[in-house]
Chain A
Amino acid sequence: MGRAALWFLVMVALTGVVLLPVYWMLLTAINGASIFTFPPHFWPTSLAFVNFIQSFTFRPFATWLINSATVALGTTALSMMISLAAAYSLSRYPSRAILNTGFLILMGQMIPLTVLIIPLYIIFRTLGLINTLTSVILAATTFALPMCLWMLKGYLDHIPYELDEAALVDGCSPLQAYVRIVIPSMAPGIAASAAFSFMLGWNEFFFANTFLTTQNHWVATVGLDSYIGQYALQWGAIFASALMVTVPPAVLFFFIQRFMVIGLSQGAVKG
């Protein structure tokens, strides 16, 4: 057997091991047979797309999805507005004070969730925000912001300053030049950081699980968590729900994966 063939076999085997969990979700979501069998079925015995309909009927899953979308869109809107403004300062006026401030904002990323959960709970309770989606949006934005800011700054740095200057010569103010000329030309960077904050909001679980107390205010991740460890439920429908919760962020993920790595490594892997 040649080296290439051996390599290929190893890759296929490793892929199988790594993707078994994803396969298990897909299988359970469409399988008509019960999950409560032993030995387990490794292939679908019959197809049951009714699982996808049932996932909406036995719990308020549609409400949870709408809540998740609200949190994700709210997080995206807030973090994009704030970080687009700040990225302009960091890229176009990189004085020492401005950059140090940007660095401090970036350090915010290094604060563990568990440290923030107690004070944020206390603050939001004082403000009457517990059990509102606003509380989750505020918390998720706090974590989306530093990454979005530095991703956008990286993008802005690659847009030549001549573009700003041309607009200034045409009589624009610096801010007009930014909004009308520069921002449209960095669309891919904006799309990537918007997708990042959307994913962060959609996948948010820890704050949502603590702040959202009644079922109708839950987001999809909290809803899915409530199924864990319960046996007397329709698991076909639950895995169909899980699949529907996975698809939106997974699609976005493959679109922005490259940018996330660049953001995390801050240029460390540049050749």
Chain B
Amino acid sequence: MPKGMGVVGSVNPQFPGGGARRSRRLAWLLLAPALLWSAALLVYPIWVVLSNSVHRVQSGLGSHHPFVGLRNYAVLLHDPVFYHVVKITLVFSVFNIAGSFGMGLLTALLLNQNYRARYVFQPLFLIPWAVPQIVAVLIWRWLLDYQYGPLGYLLWRLGLVPSPHIAWLIHPNLALIGVIITTVWVQYPIATTFLLAGLKTISPDLIDAARVDGASAWQRFRNIVWPHLSGVRNILLMLLIFWSLGQVVVIWAMTQGGPARGTDTAAIMVYIRAFQDFRIGNASALSVMVLVVSLAIGLVYYRYSFQHARKSGGG
């Protein structure tokens, strides 16, 4: 892994005068604040979660918290809500990832068609990324409003729905769709940027040659473009999986996991169990599960991206 950090370059200075040992001390001294910060606000909190997940903790601090082993986990595994939440998390993640990736690919391919006009359209397509997530939720709640929402009205005018009043955010399944639309809207520009960067590395000569050989647009995409995107695509997908599992801001602000738990993902359930039900032990056990899955993805992501960086020449 450390060798994989190809971005480092080859500099390994030995400072004159000071000597290697003094330089090493200086290096650790300068790294210390960042290390201590991470230890205090990342490592220690994770220890707190792990510890809470094996204790009976009803309201945080103060009282006696008996050790209960893996009971919190067992309780979760016998809780029907847990399985519902796993299902919602999967549905949310799959559609959010597919939507963000699909929109990203579509916009990236379109932007890659015309080099000059790209400079006009590319910033426009990136605007949703620049909007704070809370503002995005505020806007989308209005667009999807049952009574006055313009989206229902537009869909109705286009003849796609029988009534302009759509019960987005009132019906559990429609609420999940509403949350997914909003999340895709704030997220797809990241996919656009990644995939466009990948598309730029494909030599136009390669595409032209295929065209001369009579390859159709689909064949060119399938046999040249798609394989070329593999590196960027894998990293992007890992980021999207990770962000889907961890998404709390949009869901919480939009529906708070409701209505009728229709948008209750694992990340939201942790929050509800801890801050509304005050079942800290239960919430911590679920937290640990989310953490394990996320870190597994994170590890693969870093391994992959650093290896890729090394292969493509590093610094």
Contacts and interface: CB of A to CB of B under 8 A. Distances in A.
Interface of A: 4, 7-8, 10-11, 14-15, 18-22, 24-25, 28, 35-40, 42, 81-83, 85-86, 88-96, 98-123, 125-126, 138-139, 141-142, 145-146, 149, 153-154, 157-158, 161, 164, 168, 173-175, 202-203, 205-206, 209-210, 221, 224-225, 227-229, 235, 238-239, 242, 245-246, 249-250, 253-254, 257, 261, 264-271
Interface in B284-301: 284, 287-288, 290-291, 294-295, 297-299, 301
Contacts of B137: 225, 228
A123 B33 CA distance: 19
A269 B298 contact: no
A113 B13 CA distance: 38
Interface stretch (B68-76, B206-214, B307-315): B307-315
Nearest to B113: A7
**Interface bin, chain B:** 35 or more
A159 B147 CA distance: 58
Contacts of B239: 264
Given A93-B23, A120-B45, A271-B201, A98 B31 contact: yes
Contact of A91 (B11, B23, B60): B11
A99 B298 contact: no
A148 B271 CA distance: 28
A14 B299 CA distance: 36
Interface in B131-146: 131-143
Interface string B226-259: 0000011001000100100110110011100000
B194 A38 contact: no
A118 B284 contact: yes
Interface stretch (B79-87, B93-101, B120-128, B172-180): B120-128
A205 B49 contact: no
Nearest to B289: A115
B34 interface: yes
Interface in B1-21: 1-2, 5-9, 11-13, 15-18
A265 B284 contact: no
B31 A40 contact: no
Nearest to B291: A115
B129 A270 contact: no
Interface of B: 1-2, 5-9, 11-13, 15-18, 23-24, 26-28, 30-31, 33-35, 37-38, 41-42, 44-46, 48-49, 52, 60-61, 106-107, 110, 113-114, 117, 121, 123-143, 147-150, 153, 164, 185, 190, 193-194, 197-198, 200-201, 231-232, 235, 239, 242, 245-246, 248-249, 252-254, 266-268, 270-271, 274-275, 280, 283-284, 287-288, 290-291, 294-295, 297-299, 301-302, 304-306, 308-309, 312-315
A154 B143 CA distance: 41
Contacts of B198: 269
A85 B124 CA distance: 37
A106 B137 CA distance: 29
Contact of A118 (B134, B246, B266, B274): B274
Contacts of A164: 13
Contact of B138 (A4, A107, A238, A254): A238
Contacts of A265: 194, 197, 232, 235, 305
A109 B301 CA distance: 12
Nearest to B31: A89
Nearest to A238: B138
A190 to B, nearest CB: 16
